[in-house]
Structure 1
């Protein structure tokens, strides 16, 4: 069997820079020559097994991460961007192959990011010019990432795991006195800071009045939501320095993006305190990732548990690599993250053949699906609706569905795999990422032609689709 050579110069150089060593000092601690290190950092030679062992022994480096993670996401994003009709002539003469994109992602990650930002800027400008209403109603003049997209990408490329914030939340949860709930402890900490917490029947989830130092939380919200909102406010106050330092490192391009990210990090702290890393990881393994049992165990919602499972990416103590997504009834993705090879489309909705869309039809039930993506990777996916009542008659209901999944190799560690025939080829449904970039030519549910393929239209014949996609 052929052995895959590991070229990871950018990751090696990033590791050395982070610990503040010169090439000479780094090479000495790794027990190799300076020219050899230089060749590896410039991807002229692969990273050897002896260097990987030295990285683990000398620096406690999680060697499983040196060739995975961000590169896969960058490759996926590059592949989707190159599917744009803008590059039609390029694809006619021969589009870059996956191995070429992987070399770019590994050898020149900064260049890859710059290309993706340039493509986003083009796409944003094109859409604003194409829509007169949008152009007239929008006051931003800067082409490029919207603040929301910038923050989304920040979490995406951090693998949805923020170590310093996660550990601070875990320490806070460990300080809860015996016999006291997490919510009561958070209330006591806020009281010590002069903040009074009260429940109030109101449409908003949370409201803070600085003049009276009163935090009002909706009495209509379920207990887990109330706890989460109290923890969120506590994070904004007691963890302001930590969150501020993290925001400084991120270097967001606009005050709006920084403000959105501040809320995002406070949300992250709240979720990590509600479901502290070490204890939650152990319980998840013990209960074979049963979302309902974990929700009851930690006083959390099913969505909170599913989202937390997708963030268990702490170096040296990783959970299973999951993807997590939340969609609304229109199929729009409102939350997304993947620690697997499956990467969600940046624009548009999810594949209509995916079971997450059917979850709205079966409220309160988990749906299981064995699926295979066009690249041949197989997954176990579970989906459920997580619609939220407004808490009183006549209040609007927010309707969402979530999906959580992992590659089929990990499926036996999930209770949801019990009774499924994981070896039967026909058990796996063919799904894609989105119609716009899906390579399947015979899909009966296709809504638009794939960008990277030509189509033929025959007015005298009609199949399932009004056109044929050329293979």
Structure 2
């Protein structure tokens, strides 16, 4: 099998810029000619083995980052945006999209921002006159989407916050238990923790320094909420500095992101990076064992597994997603080549949708995407009771998976016939950018294919995809 060539021009330019080097100086340190470096930075030539070794020796660069850039997810996001009917037949070919994502990632992101603004304008057409009539009014990206993209393009790993959480956990565990240690840490700062059967999940009164938690919540949820409050009280400067670097376009987005970072801190403290990664490898990523060991919920464990992307200490590159009963994606992250639809639901052939039919059970699926990449996927419902009779139950399903190359490290792969082609079910991202021609669940035609309409013939679909 031919070795895949590595094109990483944007990464090389970024490293050179961060080091403050000219192309001439950078080429000299890498031991290549100036024209050769120029060709690599413009993706006219692949990165050679000699250059990879020089990057490690001269700069201590984590070479795995060269193959883990934003290129594939940018291509996926652009293809989905170009599936918008506004582009009709003017969508560029896939090769052009890949070239743009590799050579001009900033342009690709600008295009996505522009399309997002267009969508919001279109969706708010009924109130557009009012919006434009206000002095100084302007259309901005949805704060939720802006924050989602921030974590999405950070690979859902925030190094400074993760390490701060790990340091806090080390001190808290001196009390023998993260919950007890967290309560002790809050008390040292004059915060009183109390439980209440009424009221919200978490409420902090800054005047009296009282943190009130719902007594009806699960112990893992209570601990998580205490850790979240620790982040807001003790790590405020770190969170604000991280937000400054993100440069959000609105105060709403910044406020949402701050809560997101506090949640990130809580998860990273509840499941400290090094200890969690070691335990996950020892139990072969058994979610139930990890939940018991770290006093966390299954959803918290699955989400944490998808964040283990620390340089020089990476875990398995997982994808993680949570969907509601309508099929809408409410959380998503992928450290793999699998990307999720930015808008709408996930592929209906994916096992995450079947999890609602079998509550309390793990479902396993071997799946193959249209690009030929094969995955093992785990799905389960994660219903969240209201805590008392008559309270509404929030129902979700989560999916966690990775490429089959890592299957031996997962207990869930035991007994699966990984060598049988027929064992892998075909799945996609969204119908408009899925190239499968014979999918019985297709809802709309694929963007880049022509159709044949036969009035006197009807198969599974009312058209044939050419």
Question: Could you tell me the TM-score, scaled by structure 2's length?
Answer: 0.94
> Quick check: 1:342 aligned with 2:338?
yes
* Aligned position for 1:469: 464
Q: For residue 420 of structure 1, give the secondary structure of its aligned residue in structure 2.
A: coil
Query: What is the match of residue 96 of structure 2?
Result: 100
Deviates more, 1:36-45 or 1:438-447: 36-45
Change (3 A) 1:404 1:141: farther
Q: 2:262 aligns with which of 260, 266, 284?
A: 266
Mapped to 2, the partners of 1:135 and 1:287 lie a distance apart of 58
Cα distance in 2 for partners of 1:347, 1:228 equals 29
Q: Could you tell me how far 1:28 is from its partner in structure 2?
A: 4.2
1:181 aligned partner = 177
SS of 1:217 mapped into structure 2: strand
Distance 1:405 1:137, change over 3 A: farther
1:370 aligns with 2:363: no
- Displacement after TM superposition at 1:292 (Å): 0.4
Q: Is the 8 A contact 1:88 1:452 kept in 2?
A: no
Q: Give secondary structure in 2 for the equivalent of 1:216.
A: strand
* 1:290 is aligned to 2:286: yes
- Match of 2:320? 324
Aligned equivalent of 1:83: 83
Deviation at 1:429, TM superposition (A): 1.1
User: Take 2:253 and 2:431, find their aligned partners in 1: how far apart are those partners?
Assistant: 30
Aligned partner (choices 117, 123, 136) of residue 121 of structure 1: 117
Q: CA deviation at 1:276?
A: 0.7
Q: Is 1:448 the equivalent of 2:444?
A: yes
Q: Deviations over 1:21-51 (max 9, x none)?
A: 4445444443445554444334444322222
CA contact (8 A) 1:370 1:429 kept: yes
Residue aligning to 2:48 = 48
What is residue 420 of structure 2 aligned with on the other side? 424
Q: Distance in 2 between matches of 1:197 and 1:288?
A: 36
Seen in structure 2, the aligned counterparts of structure 1 residues 457 and 143 have a Cα distance that, compared at 3 Å, is farther
> Residues 436 and 136 (structure 1 numbering): CA distance in 2 closer, same or farther, change over 3 Å?
farther
Distance 2:115 2:434 in 1: 19
SS at match of 1:126: helix
Paired residue for 2:407? 411
Q: Cα offset for 1:88?
A: 2.3
CA contact (8 A) 2:140 2:249 kept: no
Write the distance in 2 (CA, Å) between the matches of 1:19 and 1:309.
32
Assess, with a 3 A threshold, how the Cα gap between structure 1 residues 449 and 37 changes in structure 2: closer, same or farther. closer
Are 2:299 and 1:303 aligned? Answer: yes
Q: Quote the Cα distance in structure 2 between the aligned partners of 1:136 and 1:400.
A: 36
**CA-to-aligned-CA distance 1:292-313 (integer Å, 9 cap, x gap):** 0111111111100100111111
Offset, 1:458: 4.7
The alignment partner of 1:335 has SS state of: strand
SS, match of residue 89 in structure 2: helix
Q: Which of 373, 380, 383 is 1:387 aligned to?
A: 383
**SS state at 1:89 partner:** coil
Asked whether the equivalents of residues 381 and 406 of structure 1 are also in contact (C-alpha less than 8 Å), the reply is: yes
Residues matched between the structures, number: 464
Are the counterparts in 1 of residues 174 and 181 from structure 2 also a CA contact under 8 Å? Answer: no
Offset, 1:433: 1.1
Maintained 8 Å contact 1:84/1:452: no
What is the alpha-carbon distance in structure 1 between the residues aligned to residue 369 and residue 18 of structure 2? 36
Equivalence for 1:57 = 57
Spell out, residue by residue over 1:128-169, the C-alpha distance to the aligned partner (whole angstroms, 9 max, x if none). Answer: 22xx48988999954352110000000000011111111111
Over residues 403-424 of structure 1, what are the superposed CA-to-partner deviations in whole Å (9 max), with x where a residue is unaligned?
Answer: 0011111111110111111111
TM-superposition CA deviations, 1:245-298 (whole Å, max 9, x none): 110000000000000000000000000001111111111111011000111111
RMSD: 2.2
Question: Which deviates further from its counterpart, 161-170 or 441-450?
Answer: 441-450
What are the Cα deviations for residues 344-381 of structure 1, in whole angstroms up to 9, with x where unaligned? 01111011111111111111110011111111111111
CA distance in 2, matches of 1:299, 1:316: 27
Which of 134, 142, 155 aligns to 2:151? It is 155
Inter-partner Cα distance in structure 2 for 1:257 and 1:376: 37
What does the per-residue CA deviation read over 1:424-469, in whole Å, with 9 as the maximum and x for residues that have no partner?
111111111122322223222223333344445555444333x113
- Number of the residue aligned with 2:248: 252
Q: 2:141: which partner in 1? A: 145
Listed as ranges, the gaps of 5+ residues in structure 1 are: none
Show structure 2 runs of 5+ residues with no match: none
